[in-house]
Amino acid sequence: MNILAISGSLRTASLNTKLVYALKEAAPPEFNLSVFEGIGNLPHFNPDLDGDEPLGTVQVWRKALQAADGIILCTPEYANGVPGVLKNALDWIVSSGEFVDKPTAVISASPLATGAEKAHDSLLLTLRMMTASIVGSSRIGSVNKKLDADGVWIDEELRSELSGLIGSLSINK
């Protein structure tokens, strides 16, 4: 099963990006997990640009989603919401529908104990509107204490929980 994981942060030292790469080590062996890094290259969503011949970067994003059997989105929280870059990437998918019935898992991660709960809930709201098949979600607080500086798992319990979350992407809901 091909799983595509996307971090909602563009920051070089992003904890969410570190986490999506660490998911490769948490995935059960039958899952091939790759990370999509291109959402920062997408233009600002504008329906006027969403014609018969979509822009190259948008096509790349849509094709990557189409090729995946399951999706994992991992978001930080900015000002009680989903970072604009991630919401922008999702807005490009409303008309093309790649999330329709797509097995999708949501993770939010923050150095704070709250685990980016408002961004978490907001992301679920958007994905449900897009009729994604939400298989599960995980809200991770104090994420800076759960992976070391090199992105190696410190918290084995969390690694096991996320392994289960990845596994649930193969269950057709």
What is the binding site for ligand FNR (CB under 6 A)?
Answer: 9, 11, 14-16, 76-80, 110-112, 114, 116
The residue (of 28 and 40) whose beta carbon lies closer to ligand FNR is 40
Closest residue to ligand FNR, Cβ-based? 76
The residue (of 78 and 153) whose beta carbon lies closer to ligand FNR is 78
Query: Whole-number minimum distance, CB 78 to ligand FNR, in Å?
Result: 4
The residue (of 68 and 82) whose beta carbon lies closer to ligand FNR is 82
Query: Whole-number minimum distance, CB 39 to ligand FNR, in Å?
Result: 13
The residue (of 24 and 62) whose beta carbon lies closer to ligand FNR is 24
Return the number of other C-beta atoms located less than 10 Å from residue 54's C-beta. 16
Give the CA distances from residue 50 to residues 44, 59, 124, in Å, rounded to whole numbers and listed in that order: 11, 10, 24
The residue (of 7 and 104) whose beta carbon lies closer to ligand FNR is 7
DSSP state letter for 48:
G
DSSP 7-22: ES---TT-HHHHHHHH
Calpha distance 98→94 (Å, rounded): 8
Query: Whole-number minimum distance, CB 79 to ligand FNR, in Å?
Result: 5
Query: Whole-number minimum distance, CB 111 to ligand FNR, in Å?
Result: 5
Query: Whole-number minimum distance, CB 140 to ligand FNR, in Å?
Result: 11
DSSP 106-148: EEEE-SSTT-SHHHHHHHHHHHHHTT-EEEEEEEESSGGGTB-
Q: What are phi and psi of 121, to 5 degrees?
A: -65, -40
